[in-house]
Structures are given as structure tokens and as C-alpha cells.
């Protein structure tokens, strides 16, 4: 049973505020263990990768090789189901086509003072992509992380993926190949992050590392940040479904459970103005749970973090929706388009009754790497911009320098920076 919050109850605001700040994940303190692994990889390179991989993944890189070979990839195609390969290709084309629209345009112009200004975009030269092993080794995530980098123009996309017991999910290798990943190494954990940041004999360093991982991977990314760039640290997934009375409770329940099956720390929330729908959805969740292979995970998520919020009107839900700032927001209501301009904070919005969030996970075309844990208040999903950077340009001639000099010199002197003033004045003999 998820909790129910009723907007018309006294004490709602306090309960809602508590709900908002509930932590869903323990953060085990692995910082010192991770620091030791990173130091070891910096000191011993490949030898350290071999040692840690033997210990954590039970895989012998001396015989398997650190690098995944072309033959390994060919073998993976042989092992993968043909229908799934076709589905990956279908997804790839849709993701690529959407992300191509995100390429930023350079801007170079001359202003009324004759000063030339500009913003020029360039791709990051080399990017590392972390892919988890085991059950969370998702080929769709490989597409979602690699394709924006390819579209940005990144030359080297370096994937690392642990091979527990020596095995890598063949679909992950196929997805990497289809997406355009340039190099793949069978290492994981903090040791893989260290190798990407500092390099070893086998793995040349990259400039930025993206992709999800466990607590060790997240801590390692935090520790190497500065030496390389990192993406956001992803938390457990979440969905907020906003539904009016005119909905099939089974559809809503299916959407809530799709999120809940990811992880016991995932969160599914329903906001509705119809108490009858709320009860019907609760019943449908319980019924559908019974036939789910991942029933245990989904049940734990729904029990511990699921919520049904009853509101008086959908309009009165708007401030709640913006405070929740959900990773995924479904608007399964009469006129979703008219409601949309009120949405201020959300990673992705799914409009109408025929846009289940799952479409966005795989084949919608937009990215499924989205801000979690209310971070949609200040950050965005993964995009081509995450793999590019902007250089600003200034160009003055003598006339422009003369025009701008007095203000620049005045500000430099006001800030006590005499050498700043001189670097302008010396060019004008003033």
C-alpha cells in the first residue's frame, strides 16, 4: 500500500513537505575504498585493472583481454535475438534524428560599436561511457548515452563495462556497435573510472565520463571530477502520473508499476482529482503485481515510496507538480497541451492517454537519461550539449579599443587591479 495524501486534509502541507524530502537511497560511505582504488590504478595501470577485476568481477583479464575485440562483437551479434537487433536499430534511428536537432549553432557577429563577438561550439575530444554489468546492463542506455556524443562529433567514445565471471550482455555490445562506440573495455567499478580519467597502458584517458553506476562508480566519478568532466549522478527513477477521472485504472497502474519494477528505491506517484480513480488504481496495482516477474522489487517500491495524492482540482495540483519536479511526468488528462505551459520543473513530459512513459525509455527519440531526485528544478536531461563546449570570441581593432578603454580602465582601477588597466592603456599610449 502506497501512502495517500489528501490536499483537503489539515496538515497536508507538512506531510507533503516531508514526503518531498524523503531520502530513497542510502549513500554508503565508500570514499576511502574508492580513493585507494583510484590511487592504485594511477600507480600500477593495467596491472591494477587486472587485479581489481579478478577480485570484484571474478574475471581474468589476462586471458580475456582488457579490450573487447572485433571478434567479440561479431560473436555478440550471433548470440543476440534478431528481433531485438532490429528494435535497437529502430530506436537508434529515432534517437539520432531527435538529437540532431539539438546541435547548437555557432554565433559570430559584429555589434554596433564594431566589436566582433562570438560563441563557437566544439565537441569534447574523448568521452568515457560507463555501463553497469549484471541485471542493470541495459542496451537502451548504451544508445541513449552514446548517440548524443556521436551527434556532437566526439571522436573517441570509450565504453567500459564489467564482465562478471567473464560475461558481457551481448545486446550491450551490439548496442555499442550500432551506436558508434569506438573502443570497449571489460572493466567496471571505480577502477574503470580511474582508467578513463588518468589512463593506463591499454586505455588512453578521456576528457569527460558519463553513464550510470553503483555507489562505487558514483563516488569515483565525484573524485575524478575536475580532472575530467562528469554527467549528473543519477538517482533511482521516478514517475509522476497526473490523471483525471476519465482514465482506465489498469493503464495507470501499469505505468506506475513500470517505474516501480526498476528498483526498490524507485518512486511512482499518482495525482488525481478523482477519489474513485485513486482507489481503482490502487486495486489494479495490487492485481497486476501478482503476475510480474519482478513483483518483489515493484511491491517494495510501491509500498515504501509509492504515493497517491488527492487534489481538489487539477489546477490546484500545479504547485505540487512543480515542487515534485519529477524525472518523468505523464499528463493523462483531457487537454494535456493546455496544461503544459504551467509545468515548470520536469525532466520529460508525456502528453495524453497514449504516451506511456515507457515509449520515452526506448523509442520515442528523446533521451531517457533525465534528472532525478527533484533536480529537474535546476538541470536537464542528457543532450548533445553535454558533449560540446562553447568558446567565446572577442576581436577589437584600435578604434574599438579606444571606445571601450575608459570604462575598462575605470573598473580595473576601482577593483584595485592596476596591471589590468595598464594592459589596455599601454596599447593606446594613455
Query: In DSSP terms, which residues pair with 120 in a beta bridge?
Result: 391
The whole-angstrom separation of Cα 43 and Cα 28 is 26
Site string for a second copy, 271-290 (x = CB under 8 A): -----------------x--
Is residue 318 involved in binding a second copy (CB under 8 A)? no
Least separation in angstroms between residue 330's CB and a second copy is 10
Residues 180-209 that bind a second copy (CB under 8 A): 207-208
Is residue 354 involved in binding a second copy (CB under 8 A)? yes
**CB-CB contact of 173 with 124 (8 Å):** no
Quick one: which of 11, 78, 165, 416 contacts a second copy (CB under 8 A)? 416
Quick one: which of 10, 26, 71, 394 contacts a second copy (CB under 8 A)? 394
Q: List, as one string, the DSSP characters of 71-109.
A: HHHHHHHHHS-HHHHHHHHHHHHHHHHHHHTTPPPPEEE
Least separation in angstroms between residue 355's CB and a second copy is 5
Residues 358-387 that bind a second copy (CB under 8 A): 358-367, 370-371, 373, 375-381, 383, 385
327 is catalytic: yes
Nearer to a second copy, 14 or 83 (CB): 83
Residue 404's CB is within 10 A of a number of other CB atoms, namely 14
Query: In DSSP terms, which residues pair with 79 in a beta bridge?
Result: none
CA angle 288, 293, 297 (to 5 degrees): 85
Nearer to a second copy, 10 or 414 (CB): 414
Q: Which of 328, 330, 357, 368 is catalytic?
A: 328
Q: Which of 183, 327, 330, 357 is catalytic?
A: 327
Quick one: which of 28, 114, 283, 397 contacts a second copy (CB under 8 A)? 397
Residues 69-108 that bind a second copy (CB under 8 A): 81, 83-84, 86-88, 90-91, 94, 97-98, 101-102, 107
Quick one: which of 1, 36, 340, 430 contacts a second copy (CB under 8 A)? 340
Residue 341's CB is within 10 A of a number of other CB atoms, namely 7
Query: In DSSP terms, which residues pair with 119 in a beta bridge?
Result: 107, 392
* Binding-site annotation: residue ranges for NAD(+): 130, 191, 214
The whole-angstrom separation of Cα 131 and Cα 139 is 9
Is residue 14 involved in binding a second copy (CB under 8 A)? no
Is residue 427 involved in binding a second copy (CB under 8 A)? yes
b/e code 174-203 from CB counts within 10 Å (16+ = b):
bbbbbbbbbbbbbbbbbbbbbbbbbebebb
* Binding-site annotation: residue ranges for Zn(2+): 259, 262, 361, 420
Quick one: which of 251, 278, 307, 333 contacts a second copy (CB under 8 A)? 251
Is residue 135 involved in binding a second copy (CB under 8 A)? yes
The whole-angstrom separation of Cα 244 and Cα 252 is 11
328 is catalytic: yes
Nearer to a second copy, 228 or 280 (CB): 228
- Label the pairing between strands 107-110 and 116-123: antiparallel
Is residue 424 involved in binding a second copy (CB under 8 A)? yes
Is residue 6 involved in binding a second copy (CB under 8 A)? no
**CB-CB contact of 140 with 415 (8 Å):** no
CA distances from 31 to 67, 155, 156, 218, 317 (A): 28, 32, 29, 10, 40
Active site residues: 327-328
Amino acid at each position: 500500500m502506497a501512502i495517500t495524501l489528501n490536499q483537503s486534509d489539515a496538515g497536508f502541507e507538512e506531510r507533503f513537505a516531508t514526503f518531498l524530502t524523503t531520502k530513497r537511497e542510502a549513500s554508503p560511505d565508500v570514499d576511502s575504498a574508492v580513493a585507494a582504488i583510484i590511487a592504485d590504478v594511477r600507480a600500477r595501470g593495467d596491472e591494477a585493472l587486472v587485479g581489481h577485476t579478478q577480485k570484484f568481477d571474478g574475471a581474468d583479464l589476462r586471458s580475456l583481454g582488457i579490450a573487447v575485440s572485433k571478434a567479440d562483437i561479431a560473436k555478440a551479434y550471433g548470440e543476440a535475438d534478431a528481433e531485438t537487433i532490429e528494435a535497437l536499430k529502430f530506436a537508434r534511428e529515432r534517437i539520432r534524428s531527435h538529437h540532431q536537432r539539438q546541435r547548437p549553432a555557432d554565433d559570430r557577429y559584429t555589434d554596433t560599436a564594431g566589436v566582433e563577438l562570438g560563441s563557437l561550439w566544439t565537441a569534447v575530444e574523448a568521452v568515457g561511457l560507463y555501463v553497469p554489468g549484471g541485471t542493470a546492463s541495459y542496451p537502451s542506455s548504451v544508445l541513449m548515452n552514446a548517440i548524443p556524443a556521436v551527434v556532437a562529433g566526439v571522436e573517441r567514445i570509450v565504453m567500459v563495462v564489467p564482465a562478471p565471471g567473464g560475461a558481457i550482455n551481448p545486446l550491450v555490445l551490439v548496442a555499442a556497435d550500432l551506436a558508434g562506440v569506438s573502443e570497449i573495455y571489460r572493466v567496471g567499478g571505480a577502477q574503470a573510472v580511474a582508467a578513463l580519467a588518468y589512463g593506463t597502458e591499454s586505455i588512453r584517458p578521456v576528457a569527460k565520463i558519463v553513464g550510470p553506476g553503483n555507489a562505487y562508480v558514483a563516488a569515483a566519478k565525484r573524485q575524478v571530477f575536475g580532472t575530467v568532466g562528469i554527467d549528473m549522478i543519477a538517482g533511482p527513477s521516478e514517475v509522476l502520473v497526473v490523471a483525471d477521472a476519465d482514465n482506465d485504472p489498469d493503464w495507470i497502474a501499469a505505468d506506475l508499476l513500470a517505474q516501480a519494477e526498476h528498483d526498490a528505491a524507485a518512486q511512482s506517484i499518482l495525482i488525481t482529482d478523482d477519489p474513485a480513480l485513486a482507489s481503482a488504481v490502487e486495486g489494479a496495482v495490487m492485481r497486476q503485481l501478482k503476475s510480474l516477474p519482478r513483483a518483489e522489487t515493484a511491491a517494495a517500491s510501491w509500498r515504501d515510496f509509492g504515493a497517491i495524492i488527492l487534489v481538489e482540482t487539477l489546477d490546484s495540483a500545479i504547485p505540487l507538480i512543480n515542487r515534485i519536479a519529477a524525472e518523468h511526468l505523464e499528463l493523462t488528462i483531457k487537454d494535456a497541451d493546455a496544461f503544459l505551459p504551467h509545468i515548470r520543473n520536469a525532466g520529460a513530459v508525456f502528453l495524453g492517454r497514449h504516451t506511456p512513459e515507457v515509449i520515452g525509455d526506448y523509442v520515442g527519440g528523446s533521451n531517457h537519461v533525465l534528472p532525478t531526485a527533484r533536480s529537474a528544478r535546476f538541470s536537464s536531461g542528457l543532450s548533445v550539449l553535454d558533449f560540446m563546449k562553447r568558446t567565446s570570441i572577442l576581436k577589437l581593432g584600435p578604434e574599438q579599443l579606444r571606445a571601450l578603454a575608459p570604462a575598462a580602465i575605470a573598473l580595473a582601477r576601482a577593483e584595485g587591479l592596476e596591471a589590468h588597466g595598464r594592459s589596455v592603456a599601454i596599447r593606446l599610449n594613455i
